[in-house]
Structure 1
Amino acid sequence: MIWHADLLKRIGRSPTRVTLRLAEVIVSMAFLSRPIQALRSWSLMPPAPPNGRYAVVAHVFYPDLLPEIVAVWSTLPAGSSLIVTVPSEKAEAVHSAIQGMPLVELYEYENRGRDLAPFISLLNAGLLDRYDAIPKIHTKKSPHLIKGELRRKLLFSALAGNIGNVRRIIAHFDDPRVGMVGFAPLFRTSRSFWMGNRSNVERLCRRMQPNGEPVLGFFEGSMFWVRPIALTPIRSAALQTAEFDVEAGQLDGTLHHGLERVIGISVRAAGFDTVSIRGRKLMCGKRSTEIGSVRNSVYEWRLNIRPPRPLRSGRRQGLRRR
């Protein structure tokens, strides 16, 4: 009965979002069904093995879900890395589970900003510069959502799932205009998804170089493939871990909720497009006649960027192997 009462309250506050959530559950269950997964594995011949440098970047708050992260990693091209961030209090369990695995790096962080504060710290430190594209994922359970674990399973399958699917996603990055690839049904553009985050988004946009425009377009759940150079504008904001809220089960209005909505803005400000897994354009990169090409200016800015400072709140566990 409590669950039903809570659902009715949510419907009253935002019927559009609740309707989308219920539709998401139905679509997710269908997408993850055996017939659809079999069809995905057979549809379209995958491109030839990609040439490039790739890594899974995963935040592990729930160590029991680490096998799912490793399963995603196994679908990437041979030689790809696995970069794991973890709250300090969970580090020992994760360290024990991945010890001895090749090409794995582990970083500890204070439990602030959920998956996004550690991700931005890696970005700011230059640790993602060596990769052409990365899938950013995390061990999402979302107990406040109906069928919260379903979203994680849906996104892991959509963004990886099998080797052929990963190759098709990576092939989108052959187009130099593409900066981010994700699951279109979770790309949010409706004004109702601003929720209580517009002020934080506008503040972050002003800190970025080039400045971003507060246009709503983001992958809800913060899981996607991205070209690290497309995040140069948000990197220029130099966010520090201490700026993020200490974890207290917040559902909205924190800096990390604002940052979730700024990732797409950064990609756009850098002059890159955001596309779906199928290659459909979801958001166009900004084209500026004032500076010629924003995308080219970002490449130039990166050439002149100062060497990254060492991580202040993260600690590498020395698990990388050749």
Structure 2
Amino acid sequence: MLSIARNKRNSGPAPRLNSVHEGIVISPGGGKVPHGSTYIRILERLKVDYQSGLEWGHVSFDEAVKVLDAQDFILVQRNSLSLDQSINLVELCRQSRVRLLFEMDDDLTIGNRIAEDQILAIKHLLTHADCVITSTPYLRKKLRQYNADVRVIPNKLCSETWLGDNYLVPPKFEIEDDGVKILYMGTYSHAGDLDIVRPALDLLNKKGVKATVYAIGIGQDIESETVKSISVPDGWGIYPKFVSWLRVNSQNFDFAIAPLENNEFNRCKSGLKYLDYGAINLPGIFSESVSYSQLVKNNETGLLIKNTAENWLRALERMCVDTRLRSRLASAAFVDVERHHLLNRRDSFIYAEALGIIRGKFKPAEVLDGEVAQSGDFDPHWYVHSYDPSALDMGAQNILVNSNDAVSHYLSIGASRNYDPSPTFSTRRYLERYTDVKEAGLNALTHYLNSGKTEGRQPSPKGRTIPANVRLDANGPISHLLPFGDEYTPSESKIAVHLHAFHLELVDDVIEHLANIQQNYTLLVSAKADDVAALRNKLTESLPLASLNIIAVENRGRDVAPWVVSLRDEIMAHDIFCHIHTKKTVHTDKHKNWRSYLLHEVLASPASVSKILSLLDDEPNIGLISPPYLARLSTQPQWGANRDRLINLLSQMNYEGQKDYCEDYPAGSFFWVKTEVLKPLFDLGLTLNDFEIEAGQNDGTLAHAIERLMGYLPSISGFDTVCTAVEKPVD
């Protein structure tokens, strides 16, 4: 074991920022040529402009050991050390009372991207560091299994590097290409991300829109007819020089792309490419992901899309042909980066606080008190820095607040002011969605931790975007109001409607609503064998525009099995599908009149039906239209007794998205959908025997699991779900 003399100067309260402090940085560059991430995450934050009075060195492990005793801190980044080195360093820091920090902005603890010995070294450092610094809330939650003090310091750009006078004279290049030139930046590990775009790019060129992706940093072996590689000139690969070279050559490109595979490693990443592209005035297309969804405002500062060839084709074509769109997005992204994503003195304050060279607003508690403090859903560092201590009623600006103080404040004061405990949990929206919690007077976060999380409730539900005083009887992420009236514009799509008519006495009400589809369509009906003849006569007489196909089915799988098993081929022969049924819920008074409510939301009037069809026809990203939750359903969305069954279905579909909470879904199983959204479900080849024999079950069946699966299917197929409400409530 290495050891050094213990002549560390006496430790006391951390002085202010203008005192002289010394520190060491160890990065994967080994003290020689720092990686780009080392510049972005560490070195540019330690510049004199931001950290006056700080002296630091970027050195190798061996050099660090020699001078460690004279340091105030040592900051280790990513996979810089072997396991033996990490064990030695932890011990030496303890001997010399040197603050040890570990910084990592990717989850290198998973996969096989680095050697096993380095993974073990990272886990040792994560466990024994005085503070862990990372870049995203998602990664913070994962790393808290190793260390209680994990702080999120988001990626930002250095204005001097990206926007300052370019004193260097980089070599210029010019792309001799008369087509649209698209920039993509990444390392060799991002070749798989680029593969997401290739099919769409090839189709785009076949359609006559000439476009080529020019990739920087991935290597030569990715080239094809539509993808070319650009090599960084010798001597210009070091980060500040690379940025200088990129800035002077960015005028070669029309826009940029940032595809990202949906996997656990990528979900931990930050949206740094958005900042890079914005700083050089390039509009971008970004995969809709954890990384970019928090940064990019769709259609305002960039385009956010789901990862399908169809979606990428539409977005690429739109960006290629619409120069005004490119100009608008580029300008908005640049302003956003300039205003919100450049390093400033506040960032330096927070960073100095993490380094331990300044007494700031926050310090970790030695022992975390209670479930809230111990949970990854409360971020005390973020909480204290997001809400000014004076606003928190905690005293002056320089007050030292530990993590238990922050928790205590949130529970006693902050929650009542709708303060959020972390960037991934919304106090206000949780209470707005789950009104049972609000009516019971419970704290949103403690309810979530005690029961809501297990139930699959959403930590930050989407809010309503319609006026707050409209449709107070409806709950959910309502984004569109449907007109109520007699106007109807026929759709050119082939429409199929499935009616499961189990309760014959309720069919008249359904017929009245089906009459609002004022064009030819196919009506698929499933019913008990004894009711088929009577239904055929009634429906044929009452709905002359409907082409009727009625089948007798066994009472198994409720209203779901008939369309999933018996009618899937007929459904897939159409473009748009609507599912309704003669719903009769008898196990609770909460669901009284639920059928009337849902029928109204999906088939209220000719005008509302026409609007639904136009949304599905005209909006390429919309895949499913769901009615809002009945206001009395104050606990939705949640798993019910269906989590394991639902996750099993998702696994069969190779779904890699989030499974921590239940997505919004059409509760009650009334909805409109593009039929291509249903293909992953139909491809499972479910049979009637997969559904339970009817025994009056209230929950926990395959039918209930598929009801919730509808909230995931659009995303699997690359579409969005939209929640609509008719402007006029049901009588």
- 1:183, distance to aligned residue in structure 2 (A): 1.5
Matching of residue 253 in structure 1 with residue 697 in structure 2? no
Alignment of 1:287-306 (within 5 A): none
Q: Is the 8 Å Cα contact of residues 112 and 241 (structure 1) preserved in structure 2? A: yes
CA contact (8 A) 1:113 1:256 kept: yes
Cross-structure match for 2:611: 168
Q: State how far apart, in whole Å, the 2-side matches of 1:263 and 1:273 are.
A: 11
Please state if 1:41 is matched with 2:484.
yes
Paired residues of 2:483 and 2:611 also in contact (CA < 8 A)? no
Matched, 1:272 2:272: no
Between 194-203 and 50-59, report the one with greater CA deviation: 50-59
Q: Sequence identity of aligned pairs in percent? A: 28
Deviation at 1:41, TM superposition (A): 2.8
Matching of residue 238 in structure 1 with residue 685 in structure 2: yes
In structure 2, relative to structure 1, the CA distance for the partners of 1:192 and 1:149 (3 Å cut) is closer
Secondary structure of the residue aligned to 1:97 is helix
1:226 counterpart letter in structure 2: V
Unaligned runs of 5+ in 1: 1-13, 21-26, 32-38, 280-322
Alignment of 1:115-126 (within 5 A): 115-122=559-566, 124=568, 126=569
Residue 53 of structure 1 is aligned with which of 494, 516, 529? 494
Q: Please, which of 640, 661, 664 is the counterpart of residue 195 of structure 1?
A: 640
| Counterpart pick for 2:519 among 55, 58, 78 | 78
The structure that is helix-richer by fraction is 1
Is 1:179 the equivalent of 2:623? yes
Q: What is the alpha-carbon distance in structure 2 between the residues aligned to residue 61 and residue 28 of structure 1? A: 30
What are the residue-to-residue correspondences of 1:208-247 with 2, within 5 Å? Answer: 208=653, 214=659, 215-216=661-662, 217-247=664-694
Give yes or no for contact 2:612–2:625 (8 Å, CA) kept in 1: yes
Quickly say closer, same or farther: Cα 1:15–1:234, change in 2 above 3 A.
same
What is the match of residue 535 of structure 2? 94
- TM-score, normalising length: structure 2: 0.31
* Cα distance in structure 2, aligned partners of 1:250 and 1:229: 30
1:105 and 2:105 correspond: no
| Ranges in structure 2 where 5+ consecutive residues have no aligned partner | 1-433, 441-469, 475-481, 727-731
Alpha carbons of 1:47 and 1:70: their partners in 2 closer, same or farther (altered >3 Å)? closer
Post-superposition CA distance 1:129-187 (Å, at most 9, x none): 23221221110110112163411111111111110011111111111111100123359
User: Are 2:648 and 1:207 aligned?
Assistant: no
The counterpart of 1:129, out of the listed 567, 572, 580, is 572
CA contact 2:490–2:519 (8 Å) conserved in 1:
no
Structure 1 residue 56: deviation in Å?
Answer: 1.9
Return closer, same or farther for 1:79/1:256 CA change in 2, 3 Å cut-off.
same
Higher relative contact order (CA 8 A, sep 6+): 1
Q: Which amino acid aligns with 2:588?
A: L
- Compared with structure 1, are the counterparts of its residues 47 and 76 closer, same or farther at alpha carbon in structure 2 (3 Å cutoff)? closer
2:585 paired residue number: 142
Amino acid in the other structure paired with 1:202:
I
Greater radius of gyration (CA): 2
How much has 1:113 moved relative to structure 2? 0.8
Q: For 2:537 and 2:435, how far apart are their aligned partners in 1?
A: 45
Q: Residue type matched to 2:553 in 1?
A: Y
C-alpha distance in structure 1 between counterparts of 2:509 and 2:636, whole Å: 33
CA distance in 1, matches of 2:560, 2:612: 22
**Offset of residue 120 of structure 1:** 0.4
* Code of the aligned partner of 2:571: L
Whole-angstrom CA distance in 1 between matches of 2:625 and 2:666:
10
For these two proteins, the number of residue pairs brought into alignment is: 250
Give the SS at the match of 1:69. helix
What's the offset of the Cα at 1:99? Answer: 5.0
Partners in 2 of 1:176 and 1:60 — Cα distance? Answer: 32
**2:711–2:721: 8 Å Cα contact kept in structure 1?**
yes
Residues 201-210 or 148-157, more deviating = 201-210
1:16 corresponds to 2:426: no
Which residue identity lines up with residue 179 of structure 1 in the other structure? G
> Given the two structures, how large is their TM-score scaled by the length of structure 1?
0.68
1:157: which partner in 2?
Answer: 600
Contact 2:499 2:523 in 1 (8 A): yes
The amino acid that maps onto 1:231 is: L
Conservation of the 8 A alpha-carbon contact between 2:488 and 2:518: no
**Distance of aligned partners of 1:118 and 1:63 in 2 relative to their CA distance in 1, 3 Å threshold:** same
Deviation at 1:202, TM superposition (A): 1.0
Q: Shift of residue 46 of structure 1? A: 5.4
Q: CA 1:17 to 1:82, structure 2 compared with 1: closer, same or farther past 3 Å?
A: farther
Secondary structure of 1:159's counterpart equals helix
**2: CA distance, partners of 1:111 / 1:203:** 24
